[in-house]
């Protein structure tokens, strides 16, 4: 972080390495301190969500935020609000251009969800984030912050044991130190990402 003429500058690589809740707090602080940027005059709350979406895309490679993920559900709701405003022709051209710039789909088909490789990559990136925060890939199956991730990790182990894991996925998981058998002693010490 640098401060120059009262403006805080945060490098993208620092921002993208932080957990989501830190981005929410930091982006709000940054927007309150910005005075000479191209976003001048835009609603700070809208910009906060927009910057959260940019961070989300840098982490997961998509702007399709699933509603069922507890951590990101407020961002998913904001995305759906933008689509609804656009459908009702109440979204300004400036905001439409900003959303188009990050490849946000304003006319998402109803009920569209991530599946197949898209969902696998999404969960893999969540696992990377979990490992950055905890130092392990051993996500408890009952993980209240993100139960879908705990279930996904368990499913990967079952697929591997049954010989149904594609080689490319196996290599990617091996590359991050994924443990194919659950170490119960490590899981017992880790409750909701907090060592006990």
β-pairing, 7-9 vs 190-191, is unpaired
Q: Alpha helix locations (H) across 135-178?
A: 147-161, 167-175
Q: What pLDDT score was predicted for residue 167? A: 93
- Give pLDDT, residue 115: 59
CA 125 to CA 59: how far, in whole Å? Answer: 7
Query: Is the Cβ–Cβ distance between 54 and 104 less than 8 Å?
Result: no
C-alpha span between 113 and 135 (Å, rounded): 30
DSSP at 172: H
Instruction: Please give the structure tokens belonging to residue 134.
Output: 């905890």
Q: For position 22, what pLDDT does the model report?
A: 54
Report pLDDT for 58. 85
Four-residue CA torsion sign, 151, 155, 157, 158:
positive
CB 65 within 8 A of CB 108: no
- The angle formed by the CA atoms of residues 85, 88 and 90, to the nearest 5 degrees, is 55
Predicted local distance difference test score (pLDDT) of residue 19: 56
Residue 46: its pLDDT value, please?
93
Local mean pLDDT, 10-residue blocks, the chain (196 residues): 37 48 51 46 89 88 77 89 90 90 74 64 87 90 82 92 92 93 58 45
Phi, psi of 8 (to 5 degrees): -90, 130
pLDDT of 2 reads: 41
Radius of gyration of the chain (CA): 19
Nearest to 53 by CA among 119, 99, 121: 99
Please name which of 157, 125, 143, 142 lies closest in space to residue 193, comparing C-alpha atoms. 143
Directed axis angle between helix 116-134 and helix 167-175, to 10°? Answer: 20
Left (φ > 0), alpha (ψ -120 to 50) or beta: where does 193 sit?
A: left
Separation of alpha carbons 13 and 26, rounded Å: 14
pLDDT at 20: 54
């Amino acid at each position: 972080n640098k401060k120059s003429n009262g403006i805080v500058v945060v490098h993208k690589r620092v921002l993208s390495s932080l957990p989501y809740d830190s981005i929410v707090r930091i982006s709000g602080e940054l927007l309150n301190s910005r005075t000479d940027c191209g976003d001048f005059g835009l609603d700070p709350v809208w910009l906060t969500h927009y910057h959260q979406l940019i961070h989300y895309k840098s982490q997961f490679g998509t702007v399709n935020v699933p509603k069922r993920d507890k951590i990101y559900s407020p961002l998913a709701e904001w995305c759906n609000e933008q689509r609804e405003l656009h459908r009702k022709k109440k979204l300004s051209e400036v905001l439409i251009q900003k959303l188009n710039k990050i490849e946000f789909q304003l006319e998402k088909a109803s009920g569209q969800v991530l599946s197949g490789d898209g969902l696998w990559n999404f969960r893999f990136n969540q696992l990377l984030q979990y490992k950055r925060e905890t130092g392990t890939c051993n996500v408890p199956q009952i993980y209240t912050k993100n139960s879908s991730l705990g279930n996904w990790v368990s499913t990967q182990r079952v697929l591997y044991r049954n010989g149904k894991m594609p080689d490319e996925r196996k290599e990617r998981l091996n590359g991050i130190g994924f443990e194919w058998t659950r170490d119960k002693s490590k899981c017992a010490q880790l409750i909701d990402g907090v060592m006990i």
